[in-house]
Amino acid sequence: MIESITYTSFTYTRRGLFERHKVIVTAMLTFRILIKKGIVPENEIEHLIMGKLDPNPGTMPEVTRSYLNE
């Protein structure tokens, strides 16, 4: 029942959106579903969306360092 309601809500919502906004709404809905089901922790989604820097990132591998500029 929850899957049916979610899909129906998404279908009606996407009808009123521009094409470029459909992907954003789909991603937001998918992230909420993954958090609700406990598949992905909320802090990982926040990190993906907010892009907060890690205060202790560790060292960069030499292979990566060879093609990235500072």
The pLDDT of residue 31: 93
Any domain includes 44: yes
Domain extent at residue 44: 2-52
| Residue 42 belongs to a domain | yes
Angstrom CA distances, 16 to 13, 20, 22, stand at: 6, 12, 9
Is the whole model's pTM more than 0.75, yes or no?
no
Instruction: Going from the first residue of the chain to its last (70 residues), give the mean pLDDT of each consecutive group of 10, the final group possibly shorter.
Output: 84 83 88 93 87 78 78
In total, how many domains does the chain have? Answer: 1
**pLDDT score for 17:** 82
* Contacts (Cβ under 8 Å, ≥6 apart) of 36: none
Residue 68 resides in a domain: no
30 within domain boundaries: yes
**Does residue 57 lie in a domain region?**
no
Task: Name the amino acid, one letter, at 14.
Answer: R
